[in-house]
Amino acid sequence: MISVTAAAAGALAALAVIAAGTGHALRRPREALEAAAAATFAAIAMILGGDEAVLGGVALVLGLAAIARYAQAVVSATRDAPARLFATFERESEAKGRFLPRTLVDRLGRNSLSDVQIGDRATERMTVLFADIRDSTALTEELSSEDAFVLIADFFARSARVVREHRGSVDKYLGDGYMALFPRCAEDALDAAMALQAAVRELNREGIGPPIEIGVGLHTGPVTFGTVGDARHIDTTVVSDTVNTAKRVEGLSKRLRVPVVATEDVMHLVRDASRYIVRPLGAQAVRGKRDPVDVMAIEPMPDVRRINTVQSSYAAKQRG
């Protein structure tokens, strides 16, 4: 028949093994190891002590301490579980937000990313901006693939900050360019286009790679955006002739060697055209469009104001 001493020693040894094995699962490794150590010493004292009162007392105290310490570790882990779960949900939501443009998700009328359903869609008037690195083929020939990647990634990072600062969102990265949407007003997109040119000049001054140039095209019109995919992968997409036109206008910026080109539809929405130097480029044939598109070269008005007859006449036309 098993003695009480042997049974108690076995129970304490079992506690030591359990505490040592569950510490990491409880996220309380130190407390669990302290409980395991106390239980181990208590079991040893009980085995060695037998009927001796001193060692028996030591075993009792250590055993009670082991039980209390392990119970504390379990209670602490249980209490912290909701906070850890909430932090995990926050991280997951933030991670999803990196892949789904938050500006579009908010405008779908959903309170959170978890509420977004496949097929959600809305139509709004927006200004669409396309930006693209010019002569990127020559860039990849001059640089190794890794160096070219670093340069383009740096350009994208700076561009994303500029777009966010002007209340827009990057919808898609397209090789060496991207598309951004500005739902608030046309000035946001125009100011972002000016700031993008400044960001590229700063990038070139830092000498991360060979100097680059970008072309920017802007057009305003109705845009239908929403979510597509399946249960395993969801993404946003934008379907609109406005998007196609903005992309073609960006192509005109390359052909005409103009940094920023906007359609007349964009400029009609600008409340204060005197903030920009506007140079009409005339009606230009655009692939995929039956009629030519009136486009204009846009530059920021310098800090020192100077006479610009083209700009002034355009501003007067807008007011009329």
| Distance separating alpha carbons of residues 188 and 220, to the nearest angstrom | 12
- Boundaries of domain holding 81: 4-99
Q: Is the pLDDT of residue 100 over 90?
A: no
Same structural domain, 149 and 284: yes
Domain edge (last residue) among 53, 70, 99? 99
Same structural domain, 88 and 131: no
Same structural domain, 78 and 163: no
Please enumerate in sequence order all residues whose Cβ is within 8 A of that of 71, keeping only pairs 6 or more positions apart, or say none.
none
The predicted pLDDT at position 48 comes to 72
Packing angle of the helix pair 145-165, 186-206 (nearest 10 deg): 140
In a domain, 186, yes or no: yes
What are the two backbone dihedrals, phi and then psi, of residue 16, each rounded to the nearest 5 degrees? -60, -45
Nearest to 116 by CA among 126, 127, 108: 108
The predicted pLDDT at position 242 comes to 92
Q: Are strands 214-229 and 177-182 parallel, antiparallel or unpaired?
A: unpaired
Domain edge (last residue) among 35, 69, 99? 99
Same structural domain, 78 and 146: no
Same structural domain, 83 and 166: no
- State how many domains the chain has: 2
In a domain, 104, yes or no: no
Same structural domain, 67 and 178: no
The predicted pLDDT at position 89 comes to 40
CATH number at 232 reads 3.30.70.1230
Q: Tell me what the pLDDT averaged over the chain comes to.
A: 77
Same structural domain, 172 and 283: yes
Same structural domain, 305 and 217: yes
- For 110, the token pair is 């959903």
Same structural domain, 202 and 168: yes
| Distance separating alpha carbons of residues 252 and 260, to the nearest angstrom | 9
Q: If you average pLDDT over residues 242-256, what whole number do you get? A: 91
In a domain, 46, yes or no: yes
> What digits encode the pLDDT tens for the residues 175-190?
889 999 998 899 999 9
Same structural domain, 55 and 185: no
In a domain, 266, yes or no: yes
The predicted pLDDT at position 65 comes to 73
Higher pLDDT, 128 or 41: 128
Q: If you average pLDDT over residues 296-306, what whole number do you get? A: 71
> What digits encode the pLDDT tens for the residues 260-277?
999 999 999 998 888 899
Which band of pLDDT confidence, cut at 50, 70 and 90, is reported for residue 85?
Answer: very low
Higher pLDDT, 305 or 124: 124
Given a contact cutoff of 8 angstroms between Cβ atoms, the answer to whether 204 and 284 are in contact is: no
Q: If you average pLDDT over residues 281-299, what whole number do you get? A: 89
In a domain, 224, yes or no: yes
In a domain, 194, yes or no: yes
In a domain, 193, yes or no: yes
Which SS3 state, helix, strand or coil, does residue 287 take?
Answer: coil
Q: If you average pLDDT over residues 287-301, what whole number do you get? A: 88
Please enumerate in sequence order all residues whose Cβ is within 8 A of that of 10, keeping only pairs 6 or more positions apart, or say none.
43
> What digits encode the pLDDT tens for the residues 55-67?
666 666 676 777 7
Q: If you average pLDDT over residues 212-234, what whole number do you get? A: 84
Q: What global pTM score does this model have? A: 0.63
The predicted pLDDT at position 21 comes to 74
Q: Please give the share of the chain, as a percent, with pLDDT higher than 90.
A: 31
**Residue 241 CA to chain centroid, in angstroms?**
27
Domain edge (last residue) among 53, 80, 99? 99
